[in-house]
């Protein structure tokens, strides 16, 4: 704290694995977290940090000052070279520590505080902007919500990336959706919350064109890898976006799907309204989700705040009605046979019986 040249904040953590194992995960998570907040950082020496400035032009706001993975990386705010000599910067160091790695995150700078007295301001900034968020981040409820985010609401990290490449427990739902939609070449499909793009991969085999959004940078990366050919051929468009404000013009799609997304939406009616807006007249919409019977099973866990929300048929149909769909119904297909054929382990197949899964079908008038 004392003296303008002293680092203001240092945080350290010891984790298992060598720096060569730890660094790529750490950097991957950091870049995804930044992207989800509207910042893009290029992983290279002199790589730029850009504001994606939703709605405004992209602007460069910083740069990778030091790029020596897996040991040291520094990201500095400002403009390279011309930036102030004490421009605020964050340095991440990974050093070998026994069988593990110590990660040291160090902040320097802070000359941009306005007014006096500066030391009092530094202490205020540290307390309100660093310590208070850290205290809230370690609250048990927040940690639980974070792990729901990581696995379902906004999947991220190596395990989620691997799981959503071929999400075995979603394959029966994909089967029911695709069977019902019977897509053809003329179809223009929208997927909201595409995860790792496994449903898209299957849908695109029918010759249809598709566009999809997700608000997880990690999931979009996997979806892009899984559908690289279709992307290159211009048959698929992947966009970062929120279900509540789809980045597509009205009337663009013949059909739309959501698989496993409803449990995570804060405002399902708004998401349905957006689907309705982007559908052509006569366009079909299908959402696959679990029924409340799923609470207490390994698929949904207990009914808790911040966990998945599972809806009755009545609730699903009222979302469709309030969003403005003219026709809607809920089906409960028995997909236990499909689950067995998809490789779902025997003890989990009951979750694909008619009591546990709902398919909401709706049509734009």
Ligand X SMILES: C[S@@+](CC[C@H](N)C(=O)[O-])C[C@H]1O[C@@H](n2cnc3c(N)ncnc32)[C@H](O)[C@@H]1O
For residue 285, the minimal CB distance to ligand X (Å) is: 14
Q: Which residue has the tokens 């530094």?
A: 122
Measured between alpha carbons, how far apart are the two ends of the chain, in Å? 64
Q: Does 216 bind ligand X (CB under 6 A)?
A: yes
Distance between CA 204 and CA 200 in Å, rounded?
6
**Cβ nearer to ligand X, comparing 158 with 365:** 158
Q: Does 108 bind ligand X (CB under 6 A)?
A: no
**Cβ nearer to ligand X, comparing 154 with 221:** 154
For residue 202, the minimal CB distance to ligand X (Å) is: 11
For residue 126, the minimal CB distance to ligand X (Å) is: 33
Neighbours of 58 (CB within 10 A): 11
Q: Which residue has the tokens 């997700």?
A: 214
CA angle 92, 94, 95 (to 5 degrees): 140
Q: Which residue has the tokens 């809607």?
A: 328
Stretch that binds ligand X, among 55-63, 212-220, 309-317, 339-347 (CB under 6 A): 212-220
For residue 122, the minimal CB distance to ligand X (Å) is: 37
Give the interface size with ligand X as a residue count (CB under 6 A).
24
| 135's tokens | 């205290």
Among 195, 307, 333, 357, binds ligand X (CB under 6 A): 195
Among 214, 238, 283, 356, binds ligand X (CB under 6 A): 214
Q: What is the dihedral of CA 236, 250, 252, 152, to 10 degrees?
A: 40
The residue of the chain with the least Cβ separation from ligand X equals 195
Among 22, 103, 189, 213, binds ligand X (CB under 6 A): 213
**Cβ nearer to ligand X, comparing 23 with 319:** 319
Helix (H) or strand (E) holding 81: none
**Cβ nearer to ligand X, comparing 167 with 307:** 167
Q: Where in 66-95 is the site for ligand X (CB under 6 A)? A: none
Q: Where in 132-191 is the site for ligand X (CB under 6 A)? A: 152-155, 164, 167, 170
Among 88, 260, 268, 290, binds ligand X (CB under 6 A): 260
For residue 346, the minimal CB distance to ligand X (Å) is: 22
In degrees and rounded to multiples of 5, residue 344 shows phi and psi of -70, 130
Distance between CA 93 and CA 260 in Å, rounded?
38
For residue 196, the minimal CB distance to ligand X (Å) is: 6
Q: Between 234 and 253, how does the x/- string for binding to ligand X read (CB under 6 A)? A: --------xx----------
What is the DSSP code (8-state) at residue 242? B
In degrees and rounded to multiples of 5, residue 263 shows phi and psi of -60, -15
What is the full DSSP assignment across 290-347?
E-GGGTTSTTT-S--TTS-----HHHHHHHHHHHT-SEEEEE----HHHHHHTT--GG
Q: Return all residues near 134 (Cβ < 8 A) that are at least 6 apart.
A: none
CA contacts within 13 A on the Cβ side of 131: 9
For residue 213, the minimal CB distance to ligand X (Å) is: 6
| 334's tokens | 């028995």
**Cβ nearer to ligand X, comparing 282 with 345:** 345
**Cβ nearer to ligand X, comparing 243 with 255:** 243
**Cβ nearer to ligand X, comparing 204 with 219:** 219
**Cβ nearer to ligand X, comparing 154 with 273:** 154
For residue 49, the minimal CB distance to ligand X (Å) is: 24
Among 41, 73, 231, 261, binds ligand X (CB under 6 A): 261
Distance between CA 113 and CA 333 in Å, rounded?
61
Residues in the chain: 365
Among 19, 28, 62, 193, binds ligand X (CB under 6 A): 193
Footprint on this chain of ligand X (rule: CB under 6 A): 152-155, 164, 167, 170, 193-195, 198-199, 213-216, 219, 242-243, 259-261, 264-265
């Amino acid at each position: 704290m004392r003296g303008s040249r002293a680092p203001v904040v240092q945080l350290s953590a010891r984790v298992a694995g060598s720096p060569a194992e730890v660094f790529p995960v750490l950097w991957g998570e950091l870049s995804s977290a930044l992207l989800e907040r509207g910042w893009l950082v290029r992983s290279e020496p002199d790589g730029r940090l850009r504001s994606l400035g939703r709605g405004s032009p992209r602007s460069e706001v910083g740069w990778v000052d030091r790029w020596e993975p897996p040991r040291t990386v520094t990201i500095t705010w400002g403009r390279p070279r011309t930036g102030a000599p004490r421009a605020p910067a964050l340095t991440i160091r990974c050093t070998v520590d026994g069988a593990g790695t110590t990660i040291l995150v160090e902040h320097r700078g802070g000359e941009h505080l306005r007014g006096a007295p500066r030391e009092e301001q530094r202490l205020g900034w540290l307390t309100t902007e660093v310590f208070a968020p850290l205290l809230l981040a370690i609250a048990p409820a927040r940690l639980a919500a974070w792990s729901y985010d990581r696995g379902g609401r906004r999947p991220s990290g190596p395990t989620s990336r691997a799981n959503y490449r071929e999400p075995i427990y979603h394959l029966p739902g994909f089967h029911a959706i695709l069977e019902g939609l019977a897509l053809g070449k003329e179809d223009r499909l929208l997927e909201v919350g595409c995860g790792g793009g496994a449903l898209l991969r299957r849908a695109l085999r029918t010759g249809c064109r598709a566009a999809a959004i997700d608000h997880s940078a990690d999931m979009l990366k996997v979806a892009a890898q899984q559908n690289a050919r279709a992307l290159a051929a211009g048959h698929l468009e992947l966009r970062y976006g929120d279900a509540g404000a789809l980045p597509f013009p009205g009337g663009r799609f013949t059909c739309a799907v959501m698989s496993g997304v409803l449990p995570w939406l804060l405002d399902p009616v708004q998401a349905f309204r957006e689907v309705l807006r982007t559908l052509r007249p006569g366009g079909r919409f299908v959402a696959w989700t679990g029924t409340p019977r799923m609470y207490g099973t390994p698929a949904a866990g207990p009914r808790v705040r911040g966990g998945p929300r599972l809806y009755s048929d009545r609730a699903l149909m009222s979302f469709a009605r309030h969003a403005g769909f003219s026709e809607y119904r809920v089906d409960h297909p028995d997909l236990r046979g499909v689950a067995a054929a998809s490789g779902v382990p025997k003890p989990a197949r009951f979750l694909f019986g008619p009591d546990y899964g709902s398919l909401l079908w709706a049509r734009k008038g």
